[in-house]
Structure 1
Amino acid sequence: MPDNGAFLWDWFWELRQAQPPGFSGPVPISNGELAFWCQLTGNIIRREEVATMRAMDARFCFEFEKECEAIKVREASA
């Protein structure tokens, strides 16, 4: 990510930290949680930034699930 977008990583991880885990892995960040976070922090987020953070979150959830499956396979073969 370009340096001028580094704040999105900070925002993303701040939101992710507050996200409770689901039964089978991370739960995607909801619109309500994003709106509440904006209200709580005073951050103003543009549509394009929301789209970028949604893509980051989707990829995070996908990669997390992929790693969990890989761990299960390794444990089953051990």
Structure 2
Amino acid sequence: MAVQPDRRGGEREGGFYQELRGDLLRHAEYQFRLAHTSDKKKVSERDLLTRQLDRADPAARHKIERRLEGPVFPSVLGYLWNWFHELSDARASGGMGPCCITYQDIAAWSRLSGHKPSPWDVAVLRDLDRLWMSIIPNPEATSNPPTTDDGEIDSVELRGRLERAFDLFG
């Protein structure tokens, strides 16, 4: 069984913590997808469900509430969910959209907030951020870099976009 660090930086058996990590990531993915809006929709799935909730009869209301909740949230990792949102709320944005949360961001946040994440906590925060970055930034928006089918930045298409942009300015 793999050994994982616990909140205090010590080591714990990995199975239990890996299961909690998986539960948190499943919950996060569901919540991120509910929050996602596309250029076409202009409204998130969560907003649509919330509007339906206001008009629903009791039976339908219960189903909508369950859809809004999604997968089980591992409350013991609630501190990581809160930490991720603190970090995400302060995330930088560049010319290509939101930036990922870096180790430097986590270190600065830790110094300023007084939180002391363990290496395992940092790994989970980075997992949450990678998941967020794969869902929330709109892949169809022109501010996102073009990618190839394997997810790599398409440098040929990006170069073409830059050349067209520079052509606009003479």
Q: Tell me which interval the TM-score lies in, with the shorter structure as reference length.
A: 0.7 to 0.9
Aligned to 2:130: 58
Aligned residue-pair number = 70
Cα pair 1:25 1:64 within 8 Å, conserved? no
The CA deviation at 1:71 is 6.5
Structure 2: gaps of 5 or more residues:
1-23, 25-73, 143-170
Q: How far apart, in 1, do the equivalents of 2:139 and 2:91 lie?
A: 21
SS at match of 2:136: helix
Q: Which residue of 2 aligns with 1:35?
A: 107
Q: Indicate the residue corresponding to 2:77 in structure 1.
A: 5
**TM-score computed with the length of structure 1 as normaliser:** 0.79
Aligned-partner Cα distance in 2 for 1:32–1:70: 29
Rg comparison, structure with higher value: 2
Structure 2 distance, partners of 1:71, 1:26, is 12
* 1:69 counterpart (127, 135, 139): 139
Larger relative contact order (CA 8 Å, sep ≥ 6): 1
Structure 1: which 5+ runs fail to align?
73-78
Could you tell me how far 1:21 is from its partner in structure 2?
1.6
Q: Distance in 1 between matches of 2:93 and 2:136?
A: 11
Aligned to 2:93: 21
TM-score normalised per structure 2: 0.38
The percent identity for this pair of structures is 29
**1:30-76 superposed Cα distances (whole Å, 9 cap, x missing partner):** 111110110111101011110000000001011123xx13567xxxx
SS in structure 2 opposite 1:28? Answer: coil
Cα displacement (A) at 1:25: 2.2
* RMSD (Å), alpha carbons: 1.6
Q: In the alignment, residue 134 of structure 2 is paired with which amino acid?
A: F
CA distance in 2, matches of 1:19, 1:71: 19
User: Which amino acid letter does the alignment assign opposite residue 31 of structure 1?
Assistant: Y
